[in-house]
């Protein structure tokens, strides 16, 4: 199939591109390289450097390539940045996404696969783990934008018959994650530990997240693509809560034999206390369940960063 992967030079999008190409699909990557990297690009993909906010460019690409599926990963993905600059966040995450959706409608693309968020869309949870029926109460412009695009996808389905698959990711981690941003605690800690720099935990470190390995995320995409079918929303998560203190201890053990120390700083305003999502629906519908244990995934991630830093 002919597939457009937006954000295909980034962390998650590049792994998905690799898997789609390995499955025999033809992939065009659209990425403005704002956080993505040329080194992440699959050499067998067709790369277009450009911005999803550039409506004329989008139209040209869709006219030329006639995609069957759009897999949308390009985003401003930093929650804190979205709080500082909600307009920029909306320009990329709402208007940029809408540019793609309109092009899909115009050029009759069959399915839109959307990288949404399980962490930021539910807000402080009423119950644990959250399933897909949990109320959506995003507490950041980033979460609001993801929620909006989910709503647009329901509109495009009901009015224009465009199918979608929405993946609400928990905290994805693994090789190629950007360690220099504000998001992605596994990459940030790993990079700091390997460079013998002090890790900083904001707050008491008891805040929890659900960490899912990139290889598992990629498998969910491949399963969903094979399955096709109705438009659905899936949490892609492990259902396991891990607090930041435990995460640091595990990484410290792998990288320094547990000798590294951590510094505590003031809690960040508005940071969610607990976040964990159930992937029971993905298991039931797609036959997908996470296979990589956190400790194993962290080891693979550390090995990757060791090589990258060498
Ligand atoms: N990493 C996670 O834990 C996580 C969790 C939930 C959802 N997501 C979503 O998954 C997607 C991928 O995230 P990631 O972790 O791989 O981040 P990433 O920053 O590595 O990837 C995003 C990619 O989009 C590109 N991009 C940004 N703005 C663009 C624009 N205006 N036009 C074209 N390209 C643009 C960047 O250069 C980058 O390559 C995002 O939509 C993000 O919101 C990620």
Q: From the CA of 40, give the closest atom in ligand 1.
A: 39
Bridge partner list, 277: 130
Query: CB-based contacts of 24: which residues, under 8 Å, 6+ apart?
Result: none
- All structural domains of the chain, each given as residue ranges with its CATH number in brackets, are 2-172+211-236 (3.40.50.720), 174-209+240-277+292-309 (3.90.25.10)
CB 21 within 8 A of CB 36: no
**Residues near ligand 1 with C-beta < 6 Å?**
7, 9-13, 31-36, 51-53, 73-77, 92, 96, 115, 117, 169, 171-172, 178
Give the tens place of pLDDT for each residue, 35-64. Answer: 999 999 999 999 999 999 999 999 999 999
Q: Whose CA is nearest to atom 23 of ligand 1?
A: 7
- The whole-number average pLDDT for the span 17-38 is 98
Q: Whose CA is nearest to atom 43 of ligand 1?
A: 77
Give the tens place of pLDDT for each residue, 279-294. Answer: 999 999 999 999 999 9
- The whole-number average pLDDT for the span 16-37 is 98
How much distance in Å is there from the Cα of 196 to the middle of ligand 1? Answer: 28
Sign of CA dihedral 14, 54, 109, 212: positive
CB 62 within 8 A of CB 103: yes
Residue 46, SS3 per DSSP: strand
Q: Whose CA is nearest to atom 28 of ligand 1?
A: 75
How much distance in Å is there from the Cα of 221 to the middle of ligand 1? Answer: 16
Q: Percentage of the chain with pLDDT > 70?
A: 100
Cis amide prior to 129 (ω within 30 degrees):
yes
- The whole-number average pLDDT for the span 25-30 is 98
For a substitution probing ligand 1, which of 10, 89, 136, 247 has the most ligand atoms within 8 Å of its CB? Answer: 10
Query: What CA–CA distance (Å, rounded) separates 117 from 139?
Result: 12
Q: From the CA of 51, give the closest atom in ligand 1.
A: 32
Q: What is the DSSP string of 124-189?
A: S-SSSSB-TTSPP---SHHHHHHHHHHHHHHHHHHHH--EEEEEEE-EEE-TT--SSSSS-HHHHH
How much distance in Å is there from the Cα of 263 to the middle of ligand 1? Answer: 29
- Specify the pLDDT at position 176: 97
Q: Are strands 242-243 and 208-209 parallel, antiparallel or unpaired?
A: antiparallel
Active site residue 107: no
How much distance in Å is there from the Cα of 259 to the middle of ligand 1? Answer: 33
Which of 142, 156, 211, 213 is catalytic? The answer is 142
Q: Percentage of the chain with pLDDT > 90?
A: 95
- Specify the pLDDT at position 268: 87
Q: Whose CA is nearest to atom 6 of ligand 1?
A: 117
Q: From the CA of 50, give the closest atom in ligand 1.
A: 33
How much distance in Å is there from the Cα of 256 to the middle of ligand 1? Answer: 30
Q: From the CA of 14, give the closest atom in ligand 1.
A: 16
């Amino acid at each position: 199939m002919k597939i457009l992967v937006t954000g295909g030079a980034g962390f998650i999008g590049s792994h998905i591109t690799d898997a789609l190409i390995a499955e025999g699909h033809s992939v065009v990557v659209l990425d403005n390289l704002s956080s993505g990297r040329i080194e992440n690009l699959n050499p067998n993909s067709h790369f277009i450097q450009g911005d999803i906010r550039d409506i004329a460019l989008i139209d040209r690409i869709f006219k030329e390539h006639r995609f069957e599926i759009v897999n949308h990963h390009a985003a401003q993905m930093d929650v804190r940045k979205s709080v500082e600059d909600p307009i920029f966040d909306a320009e990329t995450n709402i208007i940029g996404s809408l540019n793609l959706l309109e092009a899909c409608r115009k050029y009759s693309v069959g399915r839109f696969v959307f990288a949404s968020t399980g962490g930021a869309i539910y807000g402080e949870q009423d119950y644990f783990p959250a399933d897909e029926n949990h109320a959506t109460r995003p507490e950041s412009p980033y979460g609001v934008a993801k929620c909006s695009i989910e709503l647009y996808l329901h509109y495009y389905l009901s009015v224009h018959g465009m199918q979608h698959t929405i993946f609400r990711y928990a905290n994805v981690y693994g090789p190629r994650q950007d360690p220099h941003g504000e998001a992605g605690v596994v990459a940030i800690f790993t990079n700091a530990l390997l460079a013998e720099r002090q890790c900083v935990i904001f707050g008491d470190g008891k805040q929890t997240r659900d960490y899912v390995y990139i290889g598992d995320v990629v498998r969910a995409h491949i399963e969903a693509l094979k399955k096709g079918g109705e438009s659905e929303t899936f949490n892609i998560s492990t259902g396991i809560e891990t607090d930041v203190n435990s995460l640091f201890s595990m990484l410290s053990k792998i990288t320094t034999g547990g000798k590294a120390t951590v510094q505590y700083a003031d809690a960040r305003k508005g940071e969610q206390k607990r976040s964990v999502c159930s992937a029971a629906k993905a298991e039931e519908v797609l036959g997908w369940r996470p296979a990589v244990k956190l400790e194993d995934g962290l080891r693979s991630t550390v090995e990757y960063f060791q090589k990258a830093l060498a």
